[in-house]
Structures are given as C-alpha cells and as structure tokens.
C-alpha cells in the first residue's frame, strides 16, 4: 500500500504569511483612509455648493443677498419671549427645501432639527443630532457693527442696518472673486447668532436704537478679516483661549447674561475664522456659486482681497491690490 504524507504549513511559515498580510494591511490602510477622506471632502464641497446655490436663488427672488442676521417683526413673534432674529442659515432654509424647519424659527421658536447639508462629513466634532452647522458666511471686517459697509463683505447685520443691501452694483471685484461661505469647525448652531451688541444697543420696548457701544462685535456664524495684524487668526490657526469666555445675547425672557464685555466680544470675534478637519485648507464657495479648496497658506492680503467685494472702497490696508487667478490656486 502506498502511503500519502499530508503536507501542512509549519509554524514559521504561518507566522511569515501573517506578517506579510499585516504589512500589506498597514500599507493599504492609509490609502483607504485617504480615499474615505477624499470622499468626505467631496461631499463637504457639494454641501457648501448647495448653500451657495440656495443663496443665489434667494437673491433672484429678493434682489439682494440675505442679511447676516434678520430681525423678526414683533407682530410675527409667537410669544413675548421668542428669539427676535434669524441667522442667514435660517433664512436660506426655504431655498434648501426645508421650509418646514424654517417656519418655527421665523416666529421666534428655535428648533433643534438636524440639517445634513449644513454639516461637513469630515467634521467629527458635530453631534449630527441637532442644529449643527459647519459653514460660515463672509461677515467682512472684524469691527463694530456701526462701521459695517458692503465694500468690506457681502453679509451685514440687518438688525442694525436693515437697509444695507448687497445688490448687483456692489460686486465691483466680481462675484467669482468674492468669498461667500467657508468651513468652520467651531461654528455655533445655525439658529443662533453671536453678537454682543444687544445689551448695549437695543431697547426692546422702544422702536429705536439707543447710543451704541462702538466695541460691539460679531462672531457667529461668520468668518471675519482684520487689517490689524495683532488680531488676525488665519485659516486653521488656533484662536484665542476661550475657556473662560461666555458671551450670550441679552434677550428678555430668554437670556439675561451681561458677561459679554467688549474685551470678551473682541476675543470671540478673533476666533471667527475659517477652519476644517481636512488638513491643508478649507472648502469655500464664492458669490457666483463657484467652489474650491482654499489652501491655509494663502497670504493674508490675498485673503482680504478675496473677502472684500470692492477693494478700493474697503478698509483693506492695500485697497489697490490686484487679485490674480494664480493667487488662489
């Protein structure tokens, strides 16, 4: 009888095979992770493009850009303790086909509805269970709301400047060269604005503004630029230490804190910059609807030129800067 000897792997051979497989996995894992992040970044860019296109639809209907903040007339508030304003993000919900979510917010009732188009898939800090927001609007120069002007940025505070409208004739540097939106990992919820002007500037039982505090600041949901080199927080840079800072609006029946001093407001405003979880830069959308990945190493003078719709009449330290196509590639 012929015997047959069974052939089996030795322990050493098995260990070698396992080691080879482990090495291949280690080599492939970064490529897989890179492919996943590339997909997430692409979705993020698609989201911000949809926000930009919704803005163009809004502009077509109303002949102007939405305000950074819009006041809600008192007769529309559902209750005396209602939130008396909306943000640009709430204003755009109708054009994003989420009118049902917009409706309660437009009568002063803040909602906690999750809107997927407002969240970048790469941003792991968001809960994805409430009014998260990963995108911010170009609020222009970091300064008092009293000094806002359209040449510095396309989104202005309509609570304070209801007649300051960004219309066709204001895009002197071109829509394709003026930023409208960008990413921020620190953006507040889409329902809540950040502005420390309420407690000093508005009397709610009177229809007029009172003497303003010229040091009031805006910080969310926006990104800002400044001519002051000591106040600049470039793309993806860490902002100031905000661990002890608490800034909320003083609104009768809802918020009564007066902790947001002028200094705290300035620190919050310096924190209002573009940032992302992608590494290397951020997705941005221009006023024309164009979207690109803006590198974090972009020179700050170029950054200012991209944010100002009309450099020559802006507060830019270099109002005659000629922005070239190679500056943002």
How far apart are alpha carbons 181 and 183 in whole angstroms?
A: 7
Residue 14 has pLDDT above 60, yes or no: yes
pTM score: 0.85
71: β partners: 85
Per residue in 135-166, pLDDT (tens digit) is 999 999 999 888 899 999 999 999 889 999 99
- Please, are residues 108 and 83 in contact by the beta-carbon 8 Å criterion? yes
Give me the phi and psi of 197, to 5 degrees please: -95, -15
* Mean pLDDT confidence for 170-192: 94
3-state secondary structure of 266: helix
pLDDT at residue 239 greater than cutoff 60: yes
The confidence band for 127, taking pLDDT boundaries of 50, 70 and 90, is: confident
Helix, strand, coil percentages in the chain from 3-state DSSP, rounded to 5? 35, 15, 50
Higher pLDDT, 210 or 247: 247
User: Does the pLDDT value for residue 209 go beyond 80?
Assistant: no
Is 50 exceeded by the pLDDT of residue 251?
yes
Q: Calculate mean pLDDT across residues 67-73.
A: 92
Domain locations along the chain: 13-328
HEC states along the chain? CCCCCCCCCCHHHHHHHHHHHHHHHHHHHHHHHHHHHHHHHHHHHHHHHHHHHHHHHHHHHHCCCCCCEEECCHHHCCCCCCCCEEEHHHHHHHHHCCHHHHHHHCCCCCCCCCCHHHCCCCCCCCCCCCCCCCEEEEEEECCCHHHCCHHHCCCCECCCCCCCCCCHHHCCCCHHHCEEEEECCCCCCCCCCEECCHHHHECCCCCCECCCCCCCCEEECEEEECCCHHHCCCCCCCCCCCCCCCCCCCECCCECCCCCCHHHHHHHHHCCCCCCCCCCEEEEEECCCCEEEEECCCCHHHHHHHHCCCHHHCCCCCCCCCCCHHHHC
Burial 215-231 (b: 16+ CB within 10 A, else e): bbbbbbbbbbbbbeeeb
Given a cut of 50, whether residue 178 has pLDDT beyond it is: yes
Across the range 211-234, mean pLDDT stands at 84
Strand 291-295 and strand 194-195: the pairing is unpaired
> Which one has a higher pLDDT value, 310 or 216?
310
Average pLDDT, whole number, for the chain? 85
Report the pLDDT value the prediction gives residue 3, as an integer from 0 to 100.
56
For residue 279, with 0-12 CB atoms within 10 Å meaning exposed, 13-18 middle and 19 or more buried, which class applies? exposed
Is pLDDT at 120 greater than 50 in this prediction?
A: yes
pLDDT at residue number 31: 60
First-to-last C-alpha distance (Å) of the chain: 78
């Amino acid at each position: 009888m012929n015997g047959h000897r069974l052939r089996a792997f030795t322990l050493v051979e098995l260990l070698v095979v396992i080691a080879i497989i482990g090495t291949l996995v280690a080599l492939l894992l970064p490529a897989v992770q890179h492919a996943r992040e590339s997909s997430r970044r692409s979705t993020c860019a698609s989201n911000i493009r949809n926000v930009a296109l919704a803005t163009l639809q809004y502009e077509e209907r109303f002949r102007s850009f939405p305000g950074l903040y819009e006041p809600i007339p008192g007769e529309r508030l559902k209750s005396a303790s209602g939130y008396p304003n909306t943000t640009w993000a709430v204003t755009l919900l109708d054009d994003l086909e989420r009118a049902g979510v917009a409706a309660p917010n437009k009568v002063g009732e803040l909602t906690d509805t999750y809107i997927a188009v407002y969240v970048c898939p790469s941003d792991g800090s968001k809960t994805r269970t409430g009014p998260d927001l990963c995108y911010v609007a170009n609020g222009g120069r970091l300064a008092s709301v009293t000094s806002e002007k359209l040449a510095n940025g396309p989104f202005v505070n309509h609570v304070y400047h209801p007649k300051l409208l960004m219309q066709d004739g204001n895009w002197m540097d071109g829509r394709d060269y003026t930023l409208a939106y960008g990413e921020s990992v620190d953006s507040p919820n889409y329902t809540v604005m950040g502005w420390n002007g309420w407690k000093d500037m508005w009397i709610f039982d009177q229809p007029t503004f009172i003497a303003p505090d010229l040091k009031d600041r805006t910080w969310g949901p926006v990104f800002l630029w400044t001519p002051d080199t000591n106040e600049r927080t470039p793309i993806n840079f860490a902002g100031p230490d905000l661990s002890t800072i608490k800034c909320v609006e003083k609104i009768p029946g809802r918020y009564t804190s007066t902790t947001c001093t002028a200094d705290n407001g300035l620190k919050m405003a310096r924190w209002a910059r573009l940032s992302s979880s992608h590494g290397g830069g951020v997705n941005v959308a221009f006023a024309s609807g164009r979207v690109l990945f803006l590198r974090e190493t972009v020179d700050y003078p170029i950054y200012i030129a991209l944010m100002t719709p009309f450099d020559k009449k802006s507060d830019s330290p270099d109002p005659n800067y000629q922005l070239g196509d190679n500056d943002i590639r």
